[in-house]
Structure 1
Amino acid sequence: MVPPPRPPSVPPPPGSLEVLTTAEATVVVAAGDLDLAVTDDLAALLDRLVRQRPAALVFDASAVTFCAARVVTILVDATADAVLNRVPFAVAGRSRSLLRPIAVLGLDRVVPVHRDAAEALAWLAVVPLLTER
Structure 2
Amino acid sequence: MAHGLQIHLHLDRGVPVLELTGDLDLTTADELRVHGRELVDAALDRTRSDAAGVSEPPAVVVLDASGVTFVDSSGLGAVVSILKRALAHRAGFSIAGSGPQLRARLAQTGLDRVVALHASTGEAVVAAIGPAADPNRRIPEGGHRAGRGDGAG
Question: For this pair of structures, how many residues does the alignment match?
Answer: 116
Instruction: Measure how far apart 1:22 and its partner are.
Output: 5.2
Q: Which residue of 2 aligns with 1:65?
A: 69
Provide the C-alpha distance between the structure 1 equivalents of 2:14 and 2:111, rounded to a whole number of angstroms: 27
Aligned partner of 2:92 among 80, 88, 93: 88
Residues 28-67 of structure 1 mapped to structure 2, 5 A cutoff: 28-52=18-42, 53=44, 54=47, 55-67=59-71
Q: Is the 8 A contact 1:25 1:57 kept in 2?
A: yes
Confirm whether residue 103 of structure 1 aligns to residue 107 of structure 2: yes
Query: Normalized against structure 2, the TM-score is what?
Result: 0.65
Q: Is the 8 A contact 1:114 1:120 kept in 2?
A: yes
Q: Is the 8 A contact 1:57 1:88 kept in 2?
A: yes
Q: Is the 8 A contact 1:92 1:113 kept in 2?
A: yes
Provide the C-alpha distance between the structure 2 equivalents of 1:45 and 1:89, rounded to a whole number of angstroms: 17
- State the identity %: 30
Consecutive unaligned residues of structure 2, counting only runs of 5 or more, are 48-58, 131-153
Query: Normalized against structure 1, the TM-score is what?
Result: 0.74
Quote the RMSD (CA, aligned, Å): 2.1
Q: Which amino acid aligns with 2:113?
A: R
Which has a greater percent of helix? 1
Consecutive unaligned residues of structure 1, counting only runs of 5 or more, are 1-10, 127-133
Q: Which residue of 2 aligns with 1:120?
A: 124
